[in-house]
Structure 1
Amino acid sequence: NPTFFAVKAFGNVVSGELRQELLDVGAYKRFLQLTLEDDNISEIISVKDSEGNEYFEVPYLSQDVIFDQVPNYGVDKSSVPYTLRSRPA
């Protein structure tokens, strides 16, 4: 019986520390730009407001819908593992 083993896999990865920053945005402002305290950032993983609403990066400002993969638990799940759910962007 081996006491250790190696796994080889392929995919996109990001290395770093997870950090959280809370910003007070205040009243609505068109095309608001915010400055983060830390300048050594490789990726923003999520943006949420105080009510739990999540915001997403979209390629065009006119895009107001995104699609999420949702596991399919129906009888056809072997051929259709996921369905799409639309959400406001």
Structure 2
Amino acid sequence: MAKIKKVLNSSVVLVEDEQKSDFIILGKGIGYGKKSGENIDVNDSTYQFYIPVVSDKSKQIMDLLDAISPEVLEVTHQVISLAKADLHTEFNDKLYMSF
């Protein structure tokens, strides 16, 4: 379990785990109707986890996620999932968020 620190949009949340480490979870509808302080189950295998590195890039990542609509994130996830299945290959997770 993790505690929601901030709902960035319906598909992206910033959470804190039991060790007080922050990370970002990307998943369809994960933030829908959620509020800061609520607990969330992090054992869903459909979610993608991003651990921010403490640097200027962390702020850029948060700003970028705030600026991207949930629909764009969901379509990106669907396209990559279909490509993985059709091509029988894995892609680097950096593909989801490129600067």
* Shorter-chain TM-score range: under 0.3
User: TM-score of the superposition, structure 1-length normalised?
Assistant: 0.26
Bigger relative contact order, structure 1 or 2 (CA pairs below 8 A, ≥6 apart): 2
Q: Which one has a bigger Cα radius of gyration?
A: 1
Q: Under a length normalisation based on structure 2, what TM-score does the superposition of the two structures give?
A: 0.24
